[in-house]
């Protein structure tokens, strides 16, 4: 092929990994440690607004709702696991679903499965820390025997992977090992694709929060400070931020 003097566009490498992870203060890790079953974490949704007393100044709690599946080889095992979750000081109320939320998405191991919503503090989960350092999960997270298994896409260059993993370990106080890693050429990174689904307001709120240290643990900025920095109300800031997180942290439906 002749040299035209032009540089051919480079296809960024898409790095996919399977991570084995443990981190402190996680209700799901604690509940499954020694239990006869496990949990699949599917998606994150916006937390409900708090009661404003009718004055129009309601705020949104600094929590999110997650959709999960508890699974085991018997109904007794799943009952015991759900009991552990309800007893955890780190978890909110368990709201079981009478019917499956999405049968195609469950695909849980075990003979017995039960789906539930749970409200929790995302700062106590590994999701924000992984997201901050470029890891976007592409499949439900599996929590079993006190460990989490993550299927993730790494948004940055392959050469930055080891440093990003070290930062996750430091920021989350986590134990992280790589079970598998594959690299293949793609047209656009998973990170860029998901960022492209955000509205301008959602992206501005998310980028501002990330730069201000909101996703570090402990947090370096409050939602009130973030809202003041953008010149919007705290309620509006949280609305943008939660919707952005749902799109960035949710399962890959592509």
Q: Could you tell me which residue, 215 or 49, shows the higher pLDDT?
A: 215
At 103, is the pLDDT very low, low, confident or very high (cuts 50, 70, 90)? very low
Does residue 215 register a pLDDT over 50? yes
Q: For residues 243, 248, 250 and 254, what is the CA-based torsion angle, rounded to 10 degrees?
A: 120
Report which of residues 214 and 250 the model is more confident about. Answer: 214
At 187-207, the pLDDT tens digits run 456 667 777 788 888 889 998
The angle subtended at Cα 187 by Cα 181 and Cα 191, nearest 5°, is: 65
Higher pLDDT, 253 or 28: 28
More confident call, 254 vs 228: 228
For the stretch 95-98, contacts whose Cβ atoms lie closer than 8 Å and that sit 24 or more positions apart, written own/partner, are: none
Tokens matching residue 42? 């599917």
In this predicted model, which residue has the larger pLDDT, 124 or 197? 197
pLDDT more than 90, % of the chain = 34
| Cα distance between residue 253 and residue 233, in whole Å | 32
Helix (H, G, I), strand (E, B) or coil at 242: helix
Q: What is the mean pLDDT of residues 61-73?
A: 82
d(Cα 34, Cα 225) in Å, to the nearest integer? 41
What pLDDT is stored for residue 190 in this prediction?
A: 66
pLDDT tens-digit map of 156-170: 888 889 999 999 999
Dist CA 234 CA 177 (whole Å):
37
Q: State how far the Cα of 23 lies from the Cα of 99, in Å rounded to an integer.
A: 31
**CA distances in angstroms from 96 to 14, 49, 103, 188, listed in the order given:** 37, 20, 15, 38
Rounded CA-CA distance 42/10 in Å is 33
pLDDT of 253 > 70? The answer is no
How does the average pLDDT of the chain come out, rounded? 79
């Amino acid at each position: 092929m002749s040299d035209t003097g032009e540089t051919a566009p480079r296809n960024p490498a898409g790095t996919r990994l399977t991570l084995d992870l443990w981190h402190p203060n996680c209700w799901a890790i604690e509940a499954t440690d020694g239990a006869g079953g496990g949990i699949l974490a599917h998606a994150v949704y916006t937390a409900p607004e708090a009661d404003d007393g009718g004055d129009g100044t309601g705020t949104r709690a600094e929590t999110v709702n997650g959709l999960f599946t508890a699974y085991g080889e018997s109904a007794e095992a799943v009952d015991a696991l759900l009991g552990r979750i309800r007893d955890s000081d780190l978890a909110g109320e368990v709201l079981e679903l009478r019917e499956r939320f999405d049968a195609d998405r469950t695909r849980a191991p075990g003979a017995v499965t039960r789906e539930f919503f749970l409200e929790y503090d995302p700062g106590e989960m590994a999701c924000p820390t992984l997201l901050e350092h470029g890891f976007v999960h592409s499949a439900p997270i599996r929590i079993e025997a006190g460990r989490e298994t993550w299927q993730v896409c790494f948004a940055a260059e392959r050469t930055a992977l080891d440093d990003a993993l070290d930062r996750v370990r430091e920021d989350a106080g986590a134990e992280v090992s790589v079970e598998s890693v594959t690299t293949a050429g793609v047209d656009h990174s998973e990170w860029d694709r998901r960022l492209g689904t955000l509205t301008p307001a959602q992206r501005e709120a998310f980028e501002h929060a990330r730069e201000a240290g909101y996703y570090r643990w402990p947090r370096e900025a409050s939602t009130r400070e973030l809202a003041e920095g953008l010149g919007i109300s705290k309620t509006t800031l949280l609305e943008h931020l939660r919707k952005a997180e749902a799109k960035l942290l949710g399962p890959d439906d592509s």
